[in-house]
Amino acid sequence: MAGELVSVEHCLENHLPEQELKEVKRILYGREHAPIEIPEDAQKLAQQHNFEVKSYQITAKKEELTPPRLVRIGLVQNSIAAETTAPVGVQRSALHNKISRITEAAALCGVNVLCYQEAWTMPFAFCTREKQPWCEFAEDADCGPTTQLCQELAQKYNMVIVSPILERDSIHGDTLWNTAVVISNNGHVLGKTRKNHIPRVGDFNESTYYMEGDTGHVVFQTQFGRLAVNICYGRHHPQNWMMYGINGAEIVFNPSATVGALR
């Protein structure tokens, strides 16, 4: 389509001089990080399935006696893969296929821990405040189809996977939760954590679907470090981050699906 914006970054790179671009990126993203070369197989896979791969090195202060631990973290931000008018099963299956390809690319890049975006198995429809068909995307966090897929991918690629979904708790009256499932690199479900803080901003009110989580500030021990998941709106609450730190988290993910002033 003529005049279509590929990305803000692409626009900046095409219209700003090099020094100005560097300063703008510093303001937007913080200090500059050295890029890591992306394997050719991963680049080809991304091109074939129409997604982007970026890779950067983020260093920490070197300690005198303790050897460094190198961990490759992958973060996924995805679009929908089927029309929102398609049957629920078709939409979820299309996203499963899309994320499987992205996960394969992450594995080719040597990723150890991969975190998908908030409620990745569905359109982020919570802004509509309509129950149907969106609540039909909810599934069992322990043994639903999405968790089973992630277990297969985690074991196949020797990768810890953080999978945020809309959970249906059938044991407690089909209660819905905004949940992240954490799966070890051998394919076992380590546990789940539920969104601690629910946005109620103007007409945007997620409590139409689910309430604040009841799991506290869970930290998961993995082969690649102790990790926690501070889902979306929880990032606006400093003590939320503090509690994950007090509980021993070394890596805290913030999977989000958000726009505008809600960031």
Q: Which residues are catalytic?
A: 118, 195, 232
| Extended beta strands in the chain, E state | 34-35, 56-57, 73-75, 113-115, 160-169, 175-183, 189-194, 200-201, 204-205, 220-222, 225-229, 251-253
Task: Measure CA of the first residue to CA of the last residue in the chain; give whole Å.
Answer: 29
> What are the residues facing 200 on neighbouring strands?
205
Q: Quick one: tokens of 21?
A: 């671009």
Using CA atoms, how far apart are residues 58 and 68, in angstroms rounded to an integer?
12
Q: Quick one: tokens of 174?
A: 């089909």
| Coil/strand/helix, residue 182 | strand
| Closest among 218, 112, 117 to 160, alpha carbons compared | 112
Non-local CB neighbours of 242 within 8 Å, separated by 6+ positions: none
Residue 106's φ and ψ, nearest 5 degrees, are: -60, -40
Amino acid at 234: G
> What are the residues facing 218 on neighbouring strands?
none
